[in-house]
């Protein structure tokens, strides 16, 4: 795969060598148990919880893009909680993003604190506390939903120097947007539910690392706790991965147009898109990211105005999640998130840019 660019790598990632008469991407293998040799015991395929060939092919594909070995999970939360519970022990300290994915913080309070883990929080854009004494530091960049960015090479080096394991949630960027393992992280966690698979039809998560001891512990954790994705979901995800370069390119182009439009409107505040030169995240994002995601956040002031906005738009669906083919927006406050009542996270789909800009303009005018 070396020497190829993103689009080529995405199309070919994880595919078997060509065999005449065989498909490009083999179909899903549906099996709980497999036939066994009762004397020699199981090879790769013995039972579906520890292993499945469709899952292995997907893991090989994501691994080529992230630059590490991958274990797939049933959701992003299954992957993130697996890493946290594999690494952390009573008495340990973990540092989490204070502005990152809400459910990770809720999990920390509900599950880690009662186990005797000290949970500290730091904003994605800094300033950072001393990492001294931390077992694990998790960064999320760009952060969901506020889209702040952290200087990964710098903060990863500082956390590592303090003896912490460095994890990065790469959900928003995807491995085509940045490769945290090349920027100093020990391990990547991510939701594949979002832009990576991008069709709003599958829940998926993964852990990626070059640390074989950590990989073994995560593999054992997954086999014993059982949060594995099914074969059909793995196959859907692998099929969708082939177009990730095309999808991201259109989403980024749409976000650039949308962010420029929103920035120039006096009736919209707090516009964030790390690709805007005026955005506080722009310098760091342009230094470490290879592309900027198709997500723009902004504030319409009140819940009532967001209601009128959705009612007037024909293209922007009210939905959570992001990175899908269809443009959608999420009023985060409805989830009990700590965002203002008119705050929206807009996820640009792959519609034509001119149509999206026209629809957004009409929705705001209404
Ligand atoms: C969605 C999301 C998750 C959780 O992923 P699921 O697949 O929904 O479990 C974790 N981190 C970030 C940044 C996310 O956006």
User: pLDDT by residue for the chain (366 residues), tens digit each?
Assistant: 568 999 999 999 999 999 999 999 999 999 999 999 999 988 889 999 999 999 999 999 999 999 999 999 999 999 999 999 999 999 999 999 999 999 999 999 999 999 999 999 999 999 999 999 999 999 999 999 999 999 999 999 999 999 999 999 999 999 999 999 999 999 999 999 999 999 999 999 999 999 999 999 999 999 999 999 999 999 999 999 999 999 999 999 999 999 999 999 999 999 999 999 999 999 999 999 999 999 999 999 999 999 999 999 999 999 999 999 999 999 999 998 889 999 999 999 999 999 999 999 999 999
| CA of residue 123 to ligand 1 center, whole Å | 18
Region 244-365: CATH code: 3.90.1150.10
Residue nearest to atom 7 of ligand 1 (CA): 76
| CA of residue 48 to ligand 1 center, whole Å | 24
**Whether pTM exceeds 0.95:** yes
Atom of ligand 1 nearest to the CA of 171: 13
Residue nearest to atom 8 of ligand 1 (CA): 76
| CA of residue 178 to ligand 1 center, whole Å | 17
Residue nearest to atom 1 of ligand 1 (CA): 191
Residues of the chain with CATH 3.90.1150.10: 244-365
| CA of residue 190 to ligand 1 center, whole Å | 7
Region 6-241: CATH code: 3.40.640.10
Q: Are 179 and 232 in contact (CB under 8 A)?
A: no
| CA of residue 170 to ligand 1 center, whole Å | 10
The best mutation among 96, 167, 190, 191 to test binding of ligand 1, ranked by most ligand atoms within 8 Å of the C-beta, falls on 191
Residues of the chain with CATH 3.40.640.10: 6-241
| CA of residue 77 to ligand 1 center, whole Å | 6
Atom of ligand 1 nearest to the CA of 172: 13
How far, in Å, CA of 37 to CA of 266, rounded?
71
Ligand 1 pocket, Cβ-based, cut-off 6 angstroms: 75-77, 80, 101, 140, 144, 169, 171-172, 191, 193-194, 203, 205
Atom of ligand 1 nearest to the CA of 77: 9
């Amino acid at each position: 795969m070396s020497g190829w660019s993103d689009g080529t790598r995405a199309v070919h990632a994880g595919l078997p060598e060509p065999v005449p008469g065989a498909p490009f991407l083999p179909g899903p293998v549906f099996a709980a148990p497999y036939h066994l040799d009762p004397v020699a015991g199981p090879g790769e395929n013995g039972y579906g919880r520890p292993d499945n060939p469709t899952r292995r092919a997907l893991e090989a594909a994501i691994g080529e893009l992230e630059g590490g070995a991958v274990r797939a999970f049933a959701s992003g939360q299954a992957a993130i909680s697996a890493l946290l519970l594999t690494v952390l022990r009573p008495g340990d300290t973990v540092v989490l993003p204070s502005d990152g994915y809400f459910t990770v913080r809720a999990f920390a309070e509900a599950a880690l604190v009662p186990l005797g883990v000290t949970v500290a929080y730091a904003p994605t854009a800094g300033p950072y506390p001393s990492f001294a004494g931390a077992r694990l530091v998790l960064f999320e960049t760009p952060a969901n939903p506020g889209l702040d960015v952290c200087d990964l090479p710098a903060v990863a080096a500082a956390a590592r120097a303090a003896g912490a394991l460095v994890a990065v949630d790469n959900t928003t960027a995807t491995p085509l947007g940045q490769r945290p393992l090349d920027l100093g992280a020990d391990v990547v966690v991510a939701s594949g539910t979002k832009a990576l698979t991008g069709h709003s039809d599958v829940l998926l998560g993964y852990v990626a690392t070059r640390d074989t001891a950590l990989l073994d512990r995560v593999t054992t954790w997954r086999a014993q706790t059982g949060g594995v994705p099914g074969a059909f979901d793995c196959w859907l995800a692998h099929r969708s991965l082939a177009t990730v370069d095309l999808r991201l390119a259109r989403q980024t182009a749409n976000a650039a147009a949308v962010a420029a439009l929103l920035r120039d409107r006096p009736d919209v505040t707090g516009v964030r898109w790390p690709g805007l030169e005026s955005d506080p995240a722009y310098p760091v994002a342009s230094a470490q990211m290879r592309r900027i995601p198709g997500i723009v956040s902004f504030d319409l002031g009140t819940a009532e105005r967001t209601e009128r906005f959705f009612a007037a738009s024909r293209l922007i669906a009210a939905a959570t999640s992001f990175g899908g083919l269809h443009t959608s927006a999420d009023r985060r406050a409805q989830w009990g998130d700590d965002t203002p009542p008119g705050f929206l996270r807009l996820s640009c789909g792959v519609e034509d840019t001119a149509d999206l800009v026209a629809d957004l303009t009409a929705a705001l005018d209404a």
